[in-house]
């Protein structure tokens, strides 16, 4: 039976092998993601590699992406375990479990208070065997914007278009955002500045949830420099002072909007930002808007008022380290993932 050794090493030395693993396991991942992972403001990604000892062949890899988080004003260093890849010939009796266990055993060596991962169904049991435990369930909510695409699954195109037009009109008539007006200023931006640091500093003074860093440097790296997806940032500023009151970050792919983050000084500003994105979706003829958040989030009731419905696509966040009680207040957003 093959024997495997697990090492932590400089990823630059194994860059070409990582790119090959991505082609095999994560097709479509752009090569530029490798450099992007090294430019993380919280620190470069830490890579672990598995070798088959007899052949000295690289057969697996996994990364930890550092993330700075804040809880009640205290800085917490977290890490996202991802890019978990094992060669085709070694997936049954290979190094998968050993890779995961080594990562967890090395966590404190690199100064992490905890690490977390969002596994797919194929790796969930293995992650749990390694030592990860369930911490947070994420629920996926969707707001249909153009119902014709859904109706076409059950009706012919002409009938779906006719009923869809009427249904969309009725939904718009009764939707909360139709009647929310704003005297403030919306602006879609392609750069971030000190005002993003200012709002983040202000929110940290009163926020009691576990939150990932939202400094201007992080937003610039996480979204504007991301090589995988194109993100859009819509800001809300006061008309009188120009103060940043909040922002919403989203992507648009194949006619669907995915909201990655909303940060605002109060609930009314969050409502205005959500309303604005719904207007963008209608203007650009999007099919639907999606948002993922923790199952006990106070924002779920508000989403329902905006006619979002449960998409029945729950996923779990697994963690290792720290007392699990701190995760009950995790203000998890789609931006807390590693891609």
Look up the CATH number of the domain holding residue 163.
3.40.630.30
- 63 with 153, same domain: the answer is no
Structural domain range at position 16:
4-131
- 201 with 101, same domain: the answer is no
- 327 with 272, same domain: the answer is yes
Q: Judge whether residue 179 has pLDDT over 60.
A: no
| R_g (Cα) of the chain, nearest Å | 22
C-alpha span between 216 and 198 (Å, rounded):
9
- 148 with 259, same domain: the answer is yes
Q: Which among 73, 97, 131 is the end of a domain?
A: 131
The count of structural domains within the chain is 2
- The residues, any chain, with a CB within 8 Å of residue 170's CB and separated by 6 or more, are none
- 161 with 83, same domain: the answer is no
Quick one: which of 129, 104, 106, 116 has its CA closest to 67? 116
Q: Do 237 and 244 touch, CB atoms closer than 8 A?
A: yes
Categorize the per-residue pLDDT at 157 as very low, low, confident or very high, splitting at 50, 70 and 90: low
Q: Judge whether residue 181 has pLDDT over 60.
A: no
Higher pLDDT, 322 or 330: 330
- 26 with 54, same domain: the answer is yes
- 204 with 77, same domain: the answer is no
Q: Report, as an integer, the average pLDDT of 18-45.
A: 93
- 88 with 150, same domain: the answer is no
pLDDT digits (tens, 9 = 90+) for 64-106: 999 999 998 899 999 999 999 887 776 666 788 899 999 999 9
- 180 with 314, same domain: the answer is yes
Q: Which among 131, 160, 184 is the end of a domain?
A: 131
Percentage of the chain with pLDDT > 90? 60
pLDDT digits (tens, 9 = 90+) for 198-243: 999 999 988 889 999 999 999 999 999 999 999 999 999 998 888 9
Q: Which two tokens stand for residue 179?
A: 């009647």
Exposure letters 122-149 (e unless 16+ CB within 10 A, then b): ebbeebeebbbeebbebbbbbbbbbbbe
Q: Which among 73, 107, 131 is the end of a domain?
A: 131
Among 159-163, 232-236, 277-281, 292-296, the range of highest mean pLDDT: 232-236
* DSSP 8-state secondary structure symbol assigned to residue 13: G
- 101 with 125, same domain: the answer is yes
Helix pair 96-105, 121-130: axis angle to 10 deg: 50
C-alpha span between 88 and 246 (Å, rounded):
46
- 181 with 327, same domain: the answer is yes
- 256 with 149, same domain: the answer is yes
Q: Which two tokens stand for residue 112?
A: 């992490």
Q: Report, as an integer, the average pLDDT of 99-116.
A: 93
């Amino acid at each position: 039976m093959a024997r495997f050794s697990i090492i932590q090493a400089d990823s630059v030395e194994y860059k070409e092998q990582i790119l090959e693993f991505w082609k095999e396991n994560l097709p479509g991942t752009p090569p530029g993601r490798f450099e992007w992972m090294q430019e993380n403001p919280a620190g470069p990604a830490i890579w672990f590699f598995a070798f088959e000892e007899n052949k000295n062949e690289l057969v697996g890899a996994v990364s930890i992406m550092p993330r700075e988080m804040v809880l009640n004003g205290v800085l917490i260093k977290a890490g996202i375990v991802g890019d978990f890849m094992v060669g085709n010939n070694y997936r049954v009796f290979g190094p998968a479990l050993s890779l995961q266990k080594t990562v967890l055993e090395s966590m404190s060596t690199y100064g992490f208070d905890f690490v977390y991962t969002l596994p797919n169904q194929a790796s969930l049991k293995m992650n749990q065997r390694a030592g990860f435990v369930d911490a947070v369930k994420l629920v996926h909510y969707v707001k249909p914007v153009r119902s014709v695409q859904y109706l076409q699954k059950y009706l012919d195109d002409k009938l779906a278009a006719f009923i869809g037009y009427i249904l969309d009109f009725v939904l718009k008539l009764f939707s909360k955002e139709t009647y929310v007006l704003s005297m403030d200023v919306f602006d879609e931006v392609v750069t971030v500045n000190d005002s993003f640091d200012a709002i983040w500093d202000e929110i940290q003074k009163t926020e009691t949830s576990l939150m990932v860093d939202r400094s201007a440097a992080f937003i610039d790296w996480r979204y504007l420099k991301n090589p995988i997806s194109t993100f859009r940032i819509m800001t809300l500023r006061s008309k009188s002072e120009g103060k940043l009151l909040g922002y919403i970050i989203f992507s648009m792919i194949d006619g669907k909007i995915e909201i990655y983050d909303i940060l605002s000084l109060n609930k009314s500003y969050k409502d205005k930002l959500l309303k604005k994105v719904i207007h963008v979706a209608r203007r650009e003829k999007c099919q639907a808007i999606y948002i993922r958040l923790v199952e006990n989030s106070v924002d779920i009731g508000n989403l329902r008022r905006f006619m979002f419905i449960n998409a029945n696509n729950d996923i779990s966040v697994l963690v290792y380290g720290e007392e699990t009680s701190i995760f009950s207040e995790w203000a998890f957003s789609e931006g807390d993932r590693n891609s």
